[in-house]
């Protein structure tokens, strides 16, 4: 009976009581179900409407539900890209008093898709490579925190568009283990091998279904996660030795890590006995360098690559103002209300469910550059926006019903008046 269920929730979610927990998940009435694409899972998973949001409901065992719930909460506290745990539900009984499987409830990540939904018909090699690269970045971040995944795959990951690339988010943590003392090289290599084998199998499955471009090589793409992972891992954790006269290389190393989107929490610097050689090694690195700067300056929460692109436009705007020594935050606020917000406010309501605001702005800048090159002139941003809306955004697959409830638009609290563009 509904009254017998036990709910463990991270936050108060009264709407959880309205879902039909006394019914088998595969028999839930359609009025509770949200029609969203889902990846392949060993468990039964359904998407459900919960108040004004969408949640994923997964049937599992009580022990596994509680364990994964706690692991996901820990990953959230560590700021690792992952789905947000909402609750575990145990004590479910059907109308005849028979036990039903416990469930784990997680919040659906807005504007995210499983990898199979990121291409309409044919998966091209460059798209597959970008997905694998995003997964490699996620795996590095997990390993730096001491998290062993144990089931690395495209299917256990959600992806969001991130300024021409993808950002990866962990979905399934039931095989994960968090080691406070960090991971051994063997554990990291085991996760890498699991990733390589799983990715190859997933891409071969797409190939067998006739949805892969002829030139896509599943094994070659899968092997790419190893090289990408090792290159990034070495950049973030590897020691570097140089002559004491080349101290400028300390700043260069920091800037290189910042360019990759990471901040250094601690940097170890040592000299040899003769004082002629310097060894540096970053000990703690945090991802989201550009995200944090954009959030601090503008309050906008975007993906790392999106943030980098928006900051480049912000910096160009500051330079165009010709006010050396002006307060950075004041300039950023001016850019926000005179450039970014008018772009988002100008998007027609029927198009607002297609992409995140930051992704729209990134694509608009790309579109402006292309038509400026084509027409050999500096195209104003307002003119480029009109062209982008009519010729690009309007013709994208309508993802409003795929990504969010159909009634939901972009909610940035933007001014309703028309503001002139300054770029």
**4, two tokens:** 């017998």
Closest to 111 measured CA to CA, from 161, 148, 171: 161
H-helix or E-strand spanning residue 86: strand 84-90
Mean pLDDT of 106-122: 84
Return the higher-pLDDT residue of 34 and 205: 205
Opening angle at CA 33, ends 27 and 37, nearest 5: 110
Rounded to whole angstroms, how far apart are CA atoms 3 and 22?
9
Taking a C-beta distance cutoff of 8 angstroms, is the pair 155, 114 a contact? yes
**How high does pLDDT run on average in the chain?**
84
pLDDT per position as a tens digit, 339-375: 999 999 999 988 888 888 999 999 999 999 999 999 9
| Residue 291 reports pLDDT greater than 50 | yes
- Outline where 57-210 has alpha helix (H): 62-77, 125-144, 185-208
Q: Are strands 6-9 and 45-50 parallel, antiparallel or unpaired?
A: unpaired
303: left (phi over 0), alpha (psi -120 to 50) or beta: beta
User: Which of 31-45, 230-244, 277-291 shows the highest mean pLDDT?
Assistant: 230-244
Closest to 286 measured CA to CA, from 242, 236, 250, 324: 236
Taking a C-beta distance cutoff of 8 angstroms, is the pair 55, 89 a contact? no
Q: Which residues contact 40 (CB under 8 A, 6 or more apart)?
A: 155
Domains of the chain: residue spans and CATH: 2-107 (3.30.200), 115-237 (1.10.510.10), 241-283 (no CATH), 290-403 (no CATH)
Mean pLDDT of 10-21: 84
pLDDT of residue 405: 34
Mean pLDDT of 205-230: 94
pLDDT of residue 2: 45
**199, two tokens:** 């990715």
User: Which of 218-222, 324-328, 344-348, 396-400 shows the highest mean pLDDT?
Assistant: 218-222
Return the higher-pLDDT residue of 200 and 2: 200
pLDDT of residue 284: 59
**242, two tokens:** 């140089």
Sequence-ordered strand ranges (E) for 230-372 = 240-243, 262-271, 277-287
pLDDT per position as a tens digit, 296-334: 899 888 888 899 889 989 988 888 887 767 788 889 999
**What separation, in Å, do the N-terminal and C-terminal C-alpha atoms of the chain show?**
61
Least confident of 68-72, 95-99, 197-201: 95-99
Rounded to whole angstroms, how far apart are CA atoms 147 and 140?
10
Instruction: Give the distance, in angstroms, between the CA of residue 423 and the centroid of all CA atoms in the same chain.
Output: 29
Instruction: Give the distance, in angstroms, between the CA of residue 2 and the centroid of all CA atoms in the same chain.
Output: 35
Rounded to whole angstroms, how far apart are CA atoms 311 and 321?
15
3-state class of 274 per DSSP?
coil
Q: Which residues contact 172 (CB under 8 A, 6 or more apart)?
A: 41, 68, 151, 156
pLDDT per position as a tens digit, 32-46: 888 776 666 677 888
| Residue 421 reports pLDDT greater than 70 | no
pLDDT per position as a tens digit, 404-419: 333 333 223 333 233 3
Q: Are strands 84-90 and 6-9 parallel, antiparallel or unpaired?
A: antiparallel
pLDDT of residue 360: 92
Q: Which residues contact 137 (CB under 8 A, 6 or more apart)?
A: 168, 228, 232, 287
| Residue 401 reports pLDDT greater than 60 | no
Least confident of 150-159, 183-192, 311-320, 384-393: 311-320
Rounded to whole angstroms, how far apart are CA atoms 237 and 352?
41
The rounded percent of the chain whose pLDDT value lies above 70 is 89
Closest to 81 measured CA to CA, from 155, 141, 126, 121: 141
pLDDT of residue 37: 61
pLDDT of residue 63: 93
pLDDT of residue 148: 97
3-state class of 93 per DSSP?
strand
């Amino acid at each position: 009976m509904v009254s017998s269920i036990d709910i463990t929730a991270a936050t108060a979610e009264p709407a959880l009581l309205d879902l039909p927990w006394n019914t088998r998940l595969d028999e839930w009435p359609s009025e509770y179900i949200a029609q969203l694409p889902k990846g392949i899972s060993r468990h039964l998973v359904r998407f459900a409407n919960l108040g004004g949001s969408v949640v994923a409901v997964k049937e599992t065992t009580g022990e596994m539900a509680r364990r994964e719930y706690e692991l996901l909460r820990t990953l959230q506290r560590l700021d690792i890209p992952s789905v947000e745990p909402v609750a575990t539900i145990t004590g479910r009984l059907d109308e005849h008093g028979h036990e039903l499987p416990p469930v784990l409830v997680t919040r659906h990540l807005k504007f995210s898709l499983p990898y199979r939904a990121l291409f309409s018909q044919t998966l091209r090699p460059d798209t597959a490579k970008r997905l694998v690269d995003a997964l490699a970045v996620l795996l590095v971040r997990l390993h730096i925190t001491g998290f062993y995944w144990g089931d690395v795959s495209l299917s256990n990951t959600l992806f969001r568009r991130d300024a021409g690339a993808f950002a990866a988010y962990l979905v399934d943590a039931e095989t994960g283990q968090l080691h406070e003392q960090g991971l051994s090289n063997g554990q990291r290599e085991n996760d890498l091998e699991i990733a390589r084998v799983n990715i190859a199998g997933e891409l071969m499955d797409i190939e067998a279904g006739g949805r892969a471009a002829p030139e896509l090589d599943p094994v070659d793409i899968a092997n790419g996660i190893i090289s990408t992972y090792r290159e990034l891992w070495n950049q973030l954790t590897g020691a570097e030795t140089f002559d004491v006269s080349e101290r400028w290389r300390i700043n260069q190393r920091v800037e290189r890590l910042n360019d990759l989107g990471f901040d250094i929490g601690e940097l170890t610097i040592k000299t040899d006995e003769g004082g002629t050689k310097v060894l540096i090694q970053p000990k703690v690195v945090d991802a989201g360098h550009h995200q944090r700067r954009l959030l601090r300056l503008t309050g906008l929460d975007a993906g790392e690559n999106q943030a980098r692109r928006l900051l480049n436009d912000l910096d160009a705007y500051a330079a165009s103002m010709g006010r050396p020594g002006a307060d950075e935050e004041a300039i950023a606020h001016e850019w926000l209300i005179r450039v970014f917000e008018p772009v988002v406010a100008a998007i027609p309501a029927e198009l607002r469910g297609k992409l995140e605001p930051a992704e729209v702005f990134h694509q608009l800048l790309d579109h402006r550059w292309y038509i400026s090159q084509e027409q050999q002139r500096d195209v104003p941003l307002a003119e480029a926006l009109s062209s982008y809306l009519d010729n690009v955004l309007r013709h994208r697959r309508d993802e409003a019903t795929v990504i969010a409830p159909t009634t939901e638009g972009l909610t940035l609290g933007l001014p309703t008046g028309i503001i002139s563009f300054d770029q």
